[in-house]
């Protein structure tokens, strides 16, 4: 191959790289960006697209050239020339990909280092996942919620635990994603920079209710966030003064309802009193009125003891007997009994 041919092939590779890159970078692969991290990650994706386009162009141009240049003439039945290696070519096809991969690794490292740097004023949120629900705790305010509220333009560090199987934390607009692994605490940071309502999506296949394992995310101004947090703290009798001024019976019901939602029951069961409409497990408004308190208690700690028609065994987690205290179990059973008996 002459020097001039080589130069022409290289020029063809560059042109093809530019054409592919321009088209592919135009496409909005990730949708709306809603965090400071998103800009870095989207730029990294663009760089990777250009590098991939270059590698793809090398392969495509050389393939096309070889097919055209070394095609057999009509009637040519002879074997091809035997080839015994080419040191220069082998060095080139080792060095070029190595340089490309090392560049990609170094650039990714810089970006990861940048987005994972902890800011001193960050907000701490503890996340707990279990089949098939999310729970958020704000340790500084003693507040627990099934909705994720965060202030805009402030870094949030999520410390995450899974109670049963592997789940994965993903708010598409924030780009960052991290698994929650039983027995480990994993961390992920995000700095939401766009107010609005989003969805936290579980992105690890975790069981029959995986596709419903979502939680509302609200990104709001610091003032709105503070107001929300104070309201939650008051309702939950947290550190806010004046908590516990709620009258006795409704507090019981409220505790029952929070156990029902926080333990994930609402992720699978319909219960009008709790406003849940899921249909992975039996509709509690229908099946519970036929059951005694003792039977309900048993179904929570040993779900396979009595299976409702139309539902398979072992769909419901088996460990509530261990994870709930006796008092929580009693509160939950009382709550369920009163919820399905017309608020008696």
Alpha helices in 27-86 (DSSP H): 36-69
204 binds ligand CUA (CB under 6 A): yes
Tokens of 113: 């280092």
Q: Which of residues 214-253 bind ligand CUA (CB under 6 A)?
A: none
Residue closer to ligand CUA (CB basis): 167 or 269? 167
Strands 123-130, 156-162: pairing is parallel
Judged by CB under 6 A, the residue of 152, 200, 202, 273 near ligand CUA is: 202
Judged by CB under 6 A, the residue of 210, 328, 330, 338 near ligand CUA is: 210
Residue closer to ligand CUA (CB basis): 194 or 210? 210
**Helix (H) or strand (E) run with residue 125 in it:** strand 123-130
Q: What DSSP assignment string belongs to 145-160?
A: ESSEEEETTS-EEEEE
The count of other CB atoms within 10 Å of the CB of residue 239 is 12
Minimum distance, C-beta of residue 178 to ligand CUA, in the bound complex (Å)? 13
State the DSSP code for 213: -
Tokens of 267: 């992720």
Minimum distance, C-beta of residue 11 to ligand CUA, in the bound complex (Å)? 49
Minimum distance, C-beta of residue 275 to ligand CUA, in the bound complex (Å)? 21
State the DSSP code for 273: G
268 binds ligand CUA (CB under 6 A): no
Dist CA 173 CA 171 (whole Å): 6
Dist CA 54 CA 77 (whole Å): 36
Residue closer to ligand CUA (CB basis): 106 or 205? 205
Residue closer to ligand CUA (CB basis): 214 or 291? 214
Q: How many residues bind ligand CUA (CB under 6 A)?
A: 9
Dist CA 321 CA 299 (whole Å): 10
Site map for ligand CUA, 139-178, x if CB under 6 A?
A: ----------------------------x-----------
Dist CA 195 CA 90 (whole Å): 53
44 binds ligand CUA (CB under 6 A): no
Dist CA 14 CA 98 (whole Å): 19
Residue closer to ligand CUA (CB basis): 5 or 211? 211
Task: Tell me if residue 85 falls in helix, strand or coil.
Answer: coil
Judged by CB under 6 A, the residue of 33, 38, 171, 213 near ligand CUA is: 213
Q: Find the part of the chain contacting ligand CUA (CB under 6 A) among 73-81, 198-206, 242-250, 334-342.
A: 198-206
Residue closer to ligand CUA (CB basis): 37 or 204? 204
Q: Find the part of the chain contacting ligand CUA (CB under 6 A) among 1-9, 35-43, 204-212, 269-277.
A: 204-212
The CA angle 340-135-226, to the nearest 5 degrees, is: 105
Q: Find the part of the chain contacting ligand CUA (CB under 6 A) among 29-37, 202-210, 214-222, 248-256.
A: 202-210
Judged by CB under 6 A, the residue of 61, 160, 206, 268 near ligand CUA is: 206
Contact 132, 207 (CB under 8 A): yes
Task: Tell me if residue 128 falls in helix, strand or coil.
Answer: strand
Dist CA 30 CA 140 (whole Å): 33
Site map for ligand CUA, 107-146, x if CB under 6 A?
A: ----------------------x--x--------------
What residue ranges bind ligand CUA (CB under 6 A)? 129, 132, 167, 202, 204-206, 210, 213
């Amino acid at each position: 191959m002459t020097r001039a041919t080589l130069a022409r092939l290289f020029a063809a590779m560059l042109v093809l790289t530019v054409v592919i890159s321009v088209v592919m970078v135009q496409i909005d692969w990730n949708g709306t960006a809603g965090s400071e991290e998103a800009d870095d990650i989207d730029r990294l994706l663009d760089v990777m697209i250009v590098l991939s386009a270059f590698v793809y162009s090398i392969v495509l141009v050389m393939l096309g050239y070889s097919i055209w240049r070394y095609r057999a003439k009509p009637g040519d039945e002879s074997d091809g020339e035997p080839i015994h290696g080419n040191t220069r070519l082998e060095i080139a096809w080792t060095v070029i990909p190595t340089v490309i991969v090392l560049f990609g690794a170094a650039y990714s490292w810089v970006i990861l280092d940048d987005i994972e740097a902890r800011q001193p004023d960050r907000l701490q949120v503890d996340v707990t996942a279990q089949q098939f629900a999310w729970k958020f705790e704000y340790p500084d305010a003693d507040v627990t919620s099934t909705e994720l509220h965060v202030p805009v333009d402030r870094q949030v560090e999520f410390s995450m635990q899974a109670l049963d199987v592997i789940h994965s934390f993903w708010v598409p607009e924030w780009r960052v994603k991290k698994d929650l692994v039983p027995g480990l605490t994993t961390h992920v940071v995000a700095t939401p920079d766009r107010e609005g309502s989003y969805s936290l999506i579980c992105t690890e296949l975790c069981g029959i209710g995986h596709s419903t394992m979502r939680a509302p995310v609200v990104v709001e101004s610091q003032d709105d966030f503070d107001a929300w947090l104070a309201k939650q703290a008051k309702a939950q009798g947290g550190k806010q003064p004046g908590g516990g001024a709620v009258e006795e019976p409704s507090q019981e019901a409220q505790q029952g309802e929070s156990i029902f939602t926080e333990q994930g029951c609402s992720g699978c069961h319909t219960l009008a009193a709790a406003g849940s409409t899921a249909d992975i497990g039996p509709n509690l408004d229908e099946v519970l009125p036929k059951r005694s308190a003792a039977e309900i208690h048993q179904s929570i700690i040993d779900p396979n003891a009595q299976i409702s028609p139309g539902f398979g065994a072992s769909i419901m987690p088996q460990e509530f007997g261990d994870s709930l205290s006796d008092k929580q179990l009693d509160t939950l059973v009382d709550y369920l009994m009163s919820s399905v008996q017309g608020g008696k």
